[in-house]
């Protein structure tokens, strides 16, 4: 098979065929998910979902979130004097430059396969699933304050503009 990404594409193609055989094929849109940060996932998955010269997928979808590393975020909090402007400056770079680069790379894969690119999720990703983060009430309050900070809205607006400028025409945003 090659690798897990190709195997995923093969299985997705089989599932697309089942849906098209079971339902009205004109109402089925076969969407294969890539990984925004790594366009090779889409390249390999689409290679797997192409049988005998026929691409089974209709659409490539990615989720171009922007983020700040949770360990770095916790270190800022734990310092006692977090650099809020520095955090948001870094988030703005991630929201614009990094996100645009991931969209551009995946759009090239979609274009090579003659299909549209859809962004099916999007927005900021500030996560804390590791210890000691989840049990630190002060960090959770800091985390919530960042999520609600007025600059987060600015980051989201910049992100949307950058993703659109990079060529994404359909974006579904979850909050």
What pLDDT sits at residue 130?
63
Percent share of the chain, pLDDT over 70: 95
What per-residue confidence (pLDDT) applies to 126?
Answer: 80
Q: How far apart are CA 22 and CA 38, in angstroms?
A: 33
Note the pLDDT tens digit of each residue in 97-106. 998 999 999 9
- Whether 85 shows a pLDDT value over 90: the answer reads yes
Give pLDDT tens digits for 117-148: 999 888 888 876 666 677 888 988 998 999 99
Q: b/e for 105-123, b at 16 or more Cβ within 10 A?
A: bbbebbeebebbbbbbbbb
pLDDT of residue 69: 83
């Amino acid at each position: 098979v090659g690798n897990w990404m190709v195997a995923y594409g093969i299985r997705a193609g089989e599932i697309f065929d089942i849906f098209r055989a079971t339902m009205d094929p004109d109402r089925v849109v076969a969407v294969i998910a890539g990984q925004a940060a790594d366009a090779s996932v889409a390249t390999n998955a689409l290679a797997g979902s192409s049988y005998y010269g026929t691409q089974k997928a209709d659409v490539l979808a990615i989720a171009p979130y922007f983020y700040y590393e949770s360990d770095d975020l916790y270190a800022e909090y734990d310092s006692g004097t977090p650099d809020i402007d520095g955090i948001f400056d870094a988030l703005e770079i991630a929201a614009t430059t990094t996100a645009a680069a991931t969209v551009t790379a995946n759009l090239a894969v979609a274009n090579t396969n003659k299909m549209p690119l859809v962004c099916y999720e999007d927005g900021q990703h500030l996560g804390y699933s590791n210890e000691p983060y989840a049990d630190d009430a002060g960090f959770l309050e800091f985390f919530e304050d960042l999520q609600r900070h007025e600059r987060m809205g600015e980051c989201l607006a910049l992100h949307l503009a950058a993703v659109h400028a990079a060529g994404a025409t359909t974006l579904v945003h979850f909050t």
